[in-house]
Amino acid sequence: MIMMSMYFPAIKELGKLETLFENEKGAYRWALVNKDSHVNYYKSLDREALIACLKSPCMVNIEQKQYTLDVKDMIYVPRSANATIYSASDEPSLIVIGEGLATNKYPVYVKKFEEAEGFTSGYEGYRRNIFNMVDERDPSDSLLAGYTEGWPGEWTSYPPHKHDDKMEVYVYYGLEGRYGIQIIETEESFVAHRVKDFDAVVILKGYHPNVPLPKTRICYLWILTQLYGKRSLGVEVHPDFKDVPMGKTHLKK
C-alpha cells in the first residue's frame, strides 16, 4: 500500500530540529525554541525553504542579517542559504519549515500575516477564511503557503480535493483543547487522524477534507511543495462532489 499521510503529535522537546518527512523533492521539519535554545538550520544547496512562526514571535538570521517574525509570519530562505532560529519572546516559538527544489536564487523576503488579504471561501457548512501568504505571484520555484481558519463546527478543504503533484503539511491551531478529524482518502484507502492544537499531518496524496467538533474551529498552516510540473494551486475535486459549489477560492480546478 502506498503511504498517503503521516500524523505527528505536537512537538515537546526544546531546541531540536526534527524532520517530519523528506524525499528527493523536498522536506518538512519543525522545532520548538525559546530564548535559551536555538536551532541551526542547514539544507541542501539546491533547495529553497519557507519558515513559518507559530505560538510566539521568533528571530531568524540569514546571510548575516536578522529578521523578526510575529506569529503566523513567514520568511523565504533562498537556495544555498541557511538560517539560525530562536524565540523573540519569553514563550517558546514553534518553527515549521517547508523545503522544495529550486533552480533560481531569489532574495530573502518576509510575508507578514497582518498584511495578508484574507477572504471567506465556501458556503454554510464549509466556510473558512483563507490567507494566502506565498502564492503563484511570489518568487519561489516550488513552494506555496498560507493559513486556513475554519468557522465553528464547519468543514474545510471541502469539497474534497487532491493535488498529487504536490505534497503538503498541515499544522493545526485554534482548536482550544478540543480536536478535529483529518481525513485522507484515495480510491483504495481511507484514513482518519484525530488532530489537536499544534499537531501536524503530512499529506502525500489523496483527498483531504477535515472537520472540527461542534462549536470548535479547525485552523491550520499549510505549506505545499510542487513535486513535478509548474508550481500552481491546481487541484482535482472528488468526482462525487463535483456539483458542490466552491464559491470564492484560491484553488484552481
* Average pLDDT estimate for 64-70: 95
Q: Is the pLDDT of residue 247 over 70?
A: yes
Collect all residues with Cβ–Cβ distance below 8 Å to 76 and sequence separation of at least 6: 48, 49, 50, 106, 108, 109, 110, 111, 134, 138, 139, 140, 143
* Average pLDDT estimate for 188-198: 96
* Average pLDDT estimate for 167-192: 96
* Average pLDDT estimate for 99-119: 96
* Average pLDDT estimate for 83-97: 93
What is the predicted pLDDT for the residue at 7? Answer: 98
Q: Where are the domains of the chain?
A: 5-114, 118-229
Which of helix, strand or coil describes residue 114? helix
pLDDT tens per residue, range 17-29? 999 999 999 999 9
What is the predicted pLDDT for the residue at 1? Answer: 55
* Average pLDDT estimate for 146-152: 98
Question: Predicted confidence band at 232 (pLDDT cuts at 50, 70, 90)?
Answer: very high
The CA distance from 125 to 239, in Å, is 19
The CA distance from 52 to 70, in Å, is 9
What is the predicted pLDDT for the residue at 253? Answer: 76
* Average pLDDT estimate for 180-203: 96
Domains 5-114 and 118-229 are alike in CATH topology = yes
Collect all residues with Cβ–Cβ distance below 8 Å to 30 and sequence separation of at least 6: 11, 17, 18, 20, 94, 95, 96, 97, 171, 200
Query: Is this model's pTM higher than 0.95 or not?
Result: yes
Q: How far is CA 129 from CA 126, 196, 223, in A?
A: 10, 19, 16
- DSSP-derived secondary structure letter, 215: T
Mean pLDDT of the chain: 95
- C-alpha cell, 92: 517558546
Give CATH for domain 5-114.
2.60.120.10
The CA distance from 151 to 49, in Å, is 30
Residue 226 contacts residue 100 (beta carbons within 8 Å)? yes
Question: Predicted confidence band at 3 (pLDDT cuts at 50, 70, 90)?
Answer: confident
Element (H, E) at 173: strand 166-173
When the candidates are 3.20.20.70, 3.10.20.30, 2.60.120.10, 3.40.1360.10, the CATH number that belongs to 118-229 is: 2.60.120.10
Share of the chain above pLDDT 90, in %: 90
Question: Predicted confidence band at 171 (pLDDT cuts at 50, 70, 90)?
Answer: very high
